[in-house]
Amino acid sequence: MRMASICILYTQDGDLARRVKAFLRTMALVRHVTDPNRMEAALQQNSPAVILMDLRAKECRDLLEQLEQDWSESLVIALGALRSEPLREAEQSGIYAAEDLQLDRHRFQTLVGRAFDHLEIMQENRDLREQSHYGPPAEQPRRSEPVLERAHAPSLPLLRFPRVFRRLDNVEGLLASIVEGVADAAGVTHTSWGAPVGRHWPWDAASERQSRICSARRRAPPRS
């Protein structure tokens, strides 16, 4: 059955109640109400619904007015004698439909099926109106993806180089100090960066130069 496939039948006619239940057995759940004072409770439990009103039943006119005022989300199908005054009045009152009491099965089933379709459309319209009233759900702010931090190598202490330059008085010592500073800043082992074979940083540049001079003198030919 559909979401709104509930019929409330108000009548004191037992034969009419049996026929309605038999015709709608596979289409809807029929709630039979015989007491006019029980109609409001039945509507509170089953609204919205298709309401089948027997125009011959007690206080039917008062109930129709109450339904129009308080239960407009439900649909009313009036059942009355063909060409009778109550049936003509019901047709002009703005209810969903008015039908002859001598029910034709196929015609009656088609009418109730269209009423259920109409109820579903009305419910969808109410839902849309509620959504437009409250507005669309606020869009969650899109979280920015974390920016990967670039791995920074230790910056070279370049600002200390000028002070080193001022303390040095030879080119070899200057180069040695630069290489030494770069190695210290980069955090790498400096075992053979430009150093003579078999030696490690730091080495005595002045002693190296003096050693080369002595070697050159020993190889020079004696003066005549």
Q: What confidence score (pLDDT) does residue 125 get?
A: 84
At 30-44, the pLDDT tens digits run 999 999 999 999 999
Give the 3-state secondary structure percentages of the chain, helix then strand then coil, rounded to 5. 50, 10, 40
Q: Which two tokens stand for residue 188?
A: 């790498």
- Single pTM value for the model: 0.57
Ordered by where they begin, the domains of the chain are 6-132 (3.40.50.2300), 158-219 (no CATH)
Burial class (CB in 10 A: 0-12, 13-18, 19+), 201: middle
Tens digits of per-residue pLDDT, 175-211? 666 767 666 665 555 444 444 444 544 555 555 566 6
